[in-house]
Amino acid sequence: MAVPLLQVRDLRIEIPTRRGVLTAIDGVSFDIEDGEILGVVGESGAGKSLTGAAIIGLLEPPLRIAGGEIILEGQRIDNLPYARMRAIRGKKIGAIFQDPLTSLNPLYTIGRQLIETIQTHTDLSSSKARDRSIELLREVGIPAPERRIDAYPHQFSGGMRQRVVIALALCANPRLIIADEPTTALDVSIQAQILALLKRLCRDHGTAVMLVTHDMGVIAETAHRVAVMYAGRIAELGPVREVVKHPKHPYTEGLMGAIPAMGHDVDRLNQIEGSMPRLTAIPPGCAFNPRCPKAFDRCFVERPDPMASDPSQVACWLYDKQPVEAAHG
Domain carrying residue 27? 6-92+172-261+269-328
Residue 156 in any domain: the answer is no
* E strands, the chain, in order: 6-17, 20-32, 37-41, 64-72, 75-76, 93-96, 176-180, 208-213, 225-230, 233-239, 307-309, 312-314
pLDDT tens-digit map of 254-313 = 988 877 665 666 666 677 889 999 999 999 999 999 999 999 999 999 999 999 999 999
What is each CA distance from 75 to 171, 206, 311, in whole angstroms? 22, 19, 28
**How high is the mean pLDDT of the chain?**
92
Residue 49 in any domain: the answer is yes
Residue 61 in any domain: the answer is yes
pLDDT tens-digit map of 221-257 = 899 999 999 999 999 999 999 999 999 999 999 988 8
Q: How many domains are contained in the chain?
A: 1
pLDDT at 328 over 80: no
Residue 293 in any domain: the answer is yes
pLDDT tens-digit map of 128-180 = 999 999 999 999 999 999 999 999 999 999 899 999 999 999 998 999 999 99
Distance, C-alpha 30 to centroid of its chain: 11
List of residues 6+ apart from 212 with CB closer than 8 A: 40, 48, 49, 51, 52, 178, 179, 180, 181
Residue 190 in any domain: the answer is yes
Residue 27 in any domain: the answer is yes
CATH number for the domain harbouring residue 182: 3.40.50.300
Residue 160 in any domain: the answer is no
Reference 219, options 177, 170, 182; nearest CA is: 182
Phi, psi of 96 (to 5 degrees): -125, 120
Residue 114 in any domain: the answer is no
pLDDT tens-digit map of 55-101 = 999 999 999 999 999 999 999 999 999 999 999 998 999 999 888 88
Rounded Cα–Cα distance for residues 274 and 13 (Å) = 25
List of residues 6+ apart from 160 with CB closer than 8 A: 142
